[in-house]
Structure 1
């Protein structure tokens, strides 16, 4: 079964971030957000009661992906969510993607050379509850873990039209901690529990043992999903964001 990336591709983005190369993403097998081939918005699951580290990603004002704030000036998301040029903004710390929280703008992007991960540096620091990053011991096969996002709530034709206004979460069961993400990096794969990720959930977190262990990369919107295993990339994250 072919997995599709979860993010929503943004056509016609024109403003490049200062000093950052922003190549246009190929759309043949899109991650979790392309309207035509997207896979992450949480289908099923429940509305989240808390998620102070959650950050909704907008490109040129258009809702696209999910992300987390991991340090005062740094956002963690999927590389495919920030593959093009444009103005990247985030609503941080609100369960409602349309209001509340803190709005912040990205200044530079650092993309992982080997996984579907990217870190966006903000123009200024944001006082928030930062997502706690896990270690490899925090996630294991057979474990029930939680995934979060503002993605599609059904398999509608234009997923941007059916994305959730409010942050959702679902419980999924880990099937591997060494599978592959959209970019060929190491991923945590999981099967559907009470829900599954879909378009718009790309870049969002997977939590295990109270720590973030994954970033949403692909999903089939039915039974399986893959999250880049950030426990394997802690050195890279630390080198960019200091955490």
Structure 2
């Protein structure tokens, strides 16, 4: 074999290796697209299509590679507008273990696990926080988009409508990574500020704070006094009962404000 043939053989070998890796990467991407599901059952493609209609969200391209010996890595890059440069892109990633378990990340993308509406709300809320031009405030303030939070009284959005509540600022929906010493589980946290045209204490009805949290696939739990009343009592009866824990907290705050000990 002459030395002249070595470059040709090497090129053919490299092309075969690249082609095999490319085929494996395409198969892995297809696997994520077809088998991964959000908690509401939606596929990746369903979520991307719906979110692109309401938020500044432009999917760019897929990539796949082996991250570790027993773990593969798939990523989808996206931008807020068609004209964004490469440095302005964001990524949604899936770590695929040897046993097929898919872990979604980073934290800013984790709301995608809940479904397209929570993911869209999270993206729009970040647009507002970042001062991005022309965020979809109508979608952000449409109470019906919050029915994914289900309480004993019904969907949160429906309850807010019945309570004659309008959603203002701030709105946030994020995945929170807790310190290991606090919890082995991470959580999603939704916070809304609302004004409600009903009788009740002004600290609830004017810029009232509603917070719900959720761990893994568990149900949403109220995490603020107003949220607890919404989850416990039907609209129209939120403020008829005295809540002992709530009363003790407010009494302690009043005492401090008055200079007491």
Q: Shorter-normalised TM-score: what interval? A: under 0.3
Q: Which structure shows the bigger proportion of residues in helix conformation?
A: 2
Structure label with greater radius of gyration: 2
- TM-score, reference length from structure 1: 0.26
Which structure ranks higher in relative contact order (CA pairs < 8 Å, sequence separation ≥ 6)? 1
- TM-score, reference length from structure 2: 0.24
